[in-house]
Every structure is written in structure tokens, then in C-alpha cells.
Amino acid sequence: MWPLIDPPKKIHFLSVKSSEAIKYKNDLIKKYGNADINETEVIICIGGDGFMLETLHNYLNYQIPIYSINFGSVGFLTNPKISIEKDLPLILHEAQPTSLHPLAMTAYTADGKTHTALAFNDIFLYRQTRQAAKIQIITNDEIRLPELICDGIIVSTPAGSTAYNLSAHGPIVPLNSGLLPLTPICPFRPRRWRGALLPSNTSIQFLTMEEKKRPIAAVADFTEIRDVTQVFVKENRTIKSTILFNQGHELSERIVAEQFTV
């Protein structure tokens, strides 16, 4: 459980491959050492949001809290860069934990195969060719939209609602809202449909229509499955990752603040 009684003594450092990030990581390792992943109390992830997502996936089974330091561009899932002179263990000890539950995707493809993947940000379907996608939307076994003609559609987690979902004009939702935004990408028919907010325990099913003429791919974070025929999405509450944020820099507050950004 976090916070620990004392500042952590065993820290494992990871970084993207940029020279600046590697130098910063090596400077931290000289000061604090680099604990074995099987013994560490916290993982330090040095990079941007994309690298943070990779780390969440790669170290999911370890159930170790992750503290990310921004060496990317947006850095929504990260903390600001810390001076080497500052007391990193104390900063970690005072950091606030946030629990994330991923979306689970099961995708069936035209060749009869089944694929599974997890997403901490979002799962989206999109057209593979110049032809618009035709998608039927079913929630909890009830047909909600018989036919959506569009470029694609996004289901996002609350944490991911400020990413692709926001760019597609979907709503930002707070972490504790219990809601999943469902947002179309460039909808053509029905033209005025702008998506939905679904309870987080909703079972969502997408059926692709005219799949040979209008092939569709599905993406869960950075896992892409092409030529899907149907896709099932549901939040998996049995899986949890913990990420750490500086006091006053918590993810829940940043999501609220993002809604007032002009």
C-alpha cells in the first residue's frame, strides 16, 4: 500500500532512449542506485505520456507504484522534472497515489482469430481505407445505434478522456465519475450524434458492417488489430495500476483543470 511508512530505499529507474533522458537517469542511479525490479518499492519512469503507458503495460504484473518524470511533450500522466539535488525518496514518500483500471478489449477478425488487449487510455476503431466505416453499437446486449457511418469511434477511460477523446470533441470526465466517454470520429450519419457517456460497468459491443468493402482496425493503447469484425469492450476492475503524483499535481485535479483551459 502507498504511502509507505518511510521514504523508499529501493528505486528502479527506466527512461526513453533520448540522450537527455538517459543522462538524467544515470545521474539518479549514481545517487540512489538502481534496485532490481523484483525488489523495488517504486518505479521511476523518465519520458513522456507514451512511455508511461508502455511502462504501465510492461510492468502491470509487478503491481509496483510508478512515478513518471516528464521528458516528453504533453506530460499529462507525468510529474515535472526534479532537480538532481532534491531529495527524491522524500518526494516519492509525499506523492499521492492514483489507481487506474484498464479497458479490456476482445477483437474478432475476418480470419477467424481472437485477440485480446488492455488499454489505460482508450480503445478506438477506425477505417482502414478511403471508405467510411459502418459500425453498429450495442451496449449490454441492446442495439443502441443500428448504423454509424464515420471515420471511427473511441471508448476512453477517465484518465484517457483528455487525449484522443478530447481531440475528437468528446467530454472530459473526472477520475471518480464512474463514466466512460463514447465518442464518434467524424460522424457522417447520424450527423448530429455526438456520442454518449456510459456507466463504467457497461458491456460495449461494436459490429463492423460491410467489412470486406469497409475494413476496420481496432486499437487498444498501442496494440493494433486489423480487419476486425466485432469488438467487445469492458472495464476490468480486477486489474489495477497505481501511479504517483506530486501533491498539488494530482491527476484528478489536472482533469478538472483541463476543462477550464481556453
User: Which residue is it, cell 486489423?
Assistant: 226
Q: Is 117 annotated as a binding residue?
A: no
Per the omega criterion (within 30 degrees of 0), is the bond before 199 cis?
no
Biggest CA pair distance of the chain: 60
Q: Is 33 annotated as a binding residue?
A: no
Would you list the DSSP string of 103-139?
EEEEEEETTS-EEEEEESSEEEEEESSSSPEEEEEEE
User: Which residue is it, cell 542511479?
Assistant: 29
Q: Is 122 annotated as a binding residue?
A: yes
Q: Is 159 annotated as a binding residue?
A: yes
Q: Determine the 3-state secondary structure of 250 from DSSP.
A: coil
Q: Is 98 annotated as a binding residue?
A: no
Active-site choice (6, 27, 36, 49): 49
Q: Is 21 annotated as a binding residue?
A: no
Does the annotation count 6 as an active-site position? no
Under DSSP, the state recorded for 74 is S
Q: Is 165 annotated as a binding residue?
A: yes
What order of strands is seen across the sheet that includes strand 103-109? 114-119, 103-109, 228-235, 204-208, 133-139, 142-150
Cβ–Cβ contacts within 10 Å for residue 203, how many? 13
CB 74 within 8 A of CB 50: no
CB 148 within 8 A of CB 182: no
Q: Is 112 annotated as a binding residue?
A: no
What is the distance between the alpha carbons of residues 106 and 26, in angstroms, rounded to a whole number? 40
Q: Which residue type is seen at 86?
A: K
Main-chain phi, psi angles of 228, to 5 degrees: -80, 150
Q: Is 200 annotated as a binding residue?
A: no
Q: Which residue type is seen at 50?
A: G
Q: Is 92 annotated as a binding residue?
A: no
Q: Is 50 annotated as a binding residue?
A: yes
Q: Is 133 annotated as a binding residue?
A: no
Q: What separation in angstroms does the CA of 149 have from each of 144, 146, 190, 224?
A: 14, 10, 7, 21
Please state the residue numbers annotated as binding site for NAD(+). 49-50, 121-122, 151, 159, 162-167
The set of catalytic residues is 49
